[in-house]
Chain A
Amino acid sequence: MIKLPDKLRTRLGLCLLILIILMNVVLALKYYNISRIKLSQFFILQTNVQKE
């Protein structure tokens, strides 16, 4: 395995952390447009009261 200097390794790790967080932020903003969901899952969007 390639051995990187400690400082460089830490910076690379922090960059990856920031990249992951940024990706999640972008996804959170655009999630429902990219998510391939079937509408059949969305019975939960119904708001009518069911009688038990």
Chain B
Amino acid sequence: MQPFNLFSIAFFSAVRNVYQNHIRAAHATLLIFGVAIIYWRVYQFNFIYGWDDQIFVLNYYTQAGLGWRNLCEIWTNFYAGQYAPLNQLYYTLLYSLFKYNPTCFHIVGVFIHITNVFLVYMLIRSILPKLILLPALQTEQISFLTAFLFAILPVNIEPVTWIAASKVTLYTLFYLAALLSYCRYLDTARAKYFYLTLFFFVLSFATKEQAVLMPLCMLLFDYIYGRDFKDKMIWFEKLPLVILTVLFGLISLQSQGLQGGRSFYPVLQRIPLSAYTLSEYFTKCLIPINLSFLYPFPFQNGDKVLWWLWIYAAAIPLMIYCLYKQLKNRWLLFGLLFFFIHIGLVINLVPLARYSVTADRYAYLSTIGTCFIVGYFVVINLHTSRKRLSWLFVFGLYTALLTAYSSSHIRVWTNTYTLKEKLKKTIESRKDYEELKKLK
């Protein structure tokens, strides 16, 4: 055997030993490295003027400081059709510390994302042994890959780099903390973890209204933990959350109602639209292409539904029917349901006052479901398939492409001009641009 071959074998075996002996430290380092390689340039970014930063970040509440009167106003008032007091408090706190320094706002945002990445890692590590029994190494690797994909996904760039979207990352932080507490409660049956779950749930809702979906997600976790749904305790436990959800739901509706005047699509139009939106979110999480800060509705309210939208409405139920048996794989079911529960509210089935048919930031929490499916699929194949090297190559290429796209896409969020330039040019280059201008 050649000395070079001997050296390379010794080198790789030493690397493998170090990796296996310090697996968590190695994973933690790689997760931080993954975030850093994409988000390092945020220190150059500015506020996005002429878009939500100007309304939600640079406002009276932010500047009025941490005085008692301002805190009371933050917690008791709706602002711009939203109720997100904790998110406003976050801006007020950052302003008190750094004034309107965009670099500090962005860097804190990235730290929240890193925290979320670690929470995802811990959550998957907690739940995976309940889904399927795997060797410890594989459990660690699936948890790591899920968190790593979540860290580098291009779709997740919008909520991390856009300061006004911090409510998404912040609510996810509390939401994941609540789910982890709930897992701990299910493991130990100690009441303090349940109260902790409630506490984080309230914080999560005070940041963003989408947290109302938590009781549904908790039922999914009950199913994964194999709890008996005939047991009244399961439903009794959810009662405080359901009461809070109804209360929070009413608050949300009232805050949106204050905006007023927005007309909604009729139910029959919403069905094909929601089928398209659902598949669009799913595709974006797996194969992100041509991401934008705004995706206009494909047709106007009152116009005829575009024919191709009906293809989605027919193909999705048929696909679910055909793949029904595959859903008996608990890991696949968990990933898909986690994705669906958290995206269900924004697929346009429930009418919401929105300008966009989809928005990257709404998928932030849901992407954990798709990242888990990919992570599980890759690790299992790397350990069991005969074509391990091919799998390694394909996944390596996929990760490299995601990282490259993220590194390129993040520049769009540098400032207002870089953000809007692409969409402006696209619209101006349309053949019917002059005709559309007349509709103005």
Contacts and interface: CB of A to CB of B under 8 A. Distances in A.
Interface of A: 4, 6, 9-10, 12-14, 16-17, 19-21, 23-25, 27-29, 31-42, 44-50, 52
Given A17-B319, A19-B315, A37 B325 contact: no
B318 interface: yes
Contact of B303 (A17, A36, A45, A52): A36
B402 to A, nearest CB: 15
Interface in B31-85: 49-51, 54-55, 58-60
Contact of B427 (A4, A28, A32): A32
A52 B319 contact: no
Given A33-B430, A38-B436, A44-B355, 5 more contacts: A6-B325, A13-B319, A36-B298, A49-B54, A52-B54
Contacts of B55: 52
B416 to A, nearest CB: 5
A47 B415 CA distance: 10
A42 B50 CA distance: 12
Contacts of B439: 38-40
Interface residues of B, number: 53
A29 B289 contact: yes
Interface of B: 49-51, 54-55, 58-60, 279-280, 282-284, 286-287, 289-290, 294-300, 303, 306, 308, 311-312, 315-316, 318-323, 325-326, 355, 416-417, 420, 423-424, 426-427, 430-431, 436-437, 439-440
B323 A13 contact: yes
Contacts of B436: 37-39
A13 B427 contact: no
Nearest to B47: A49
A10 B323 contact: yes
B230 to A, nearest CB: 30
Nearest to B417: A47
Given A21-B286, A24-B280, A25-B289, A41 B296 contact: yes
A52 B299 CA distance: 32
B294 A44 contact: yes
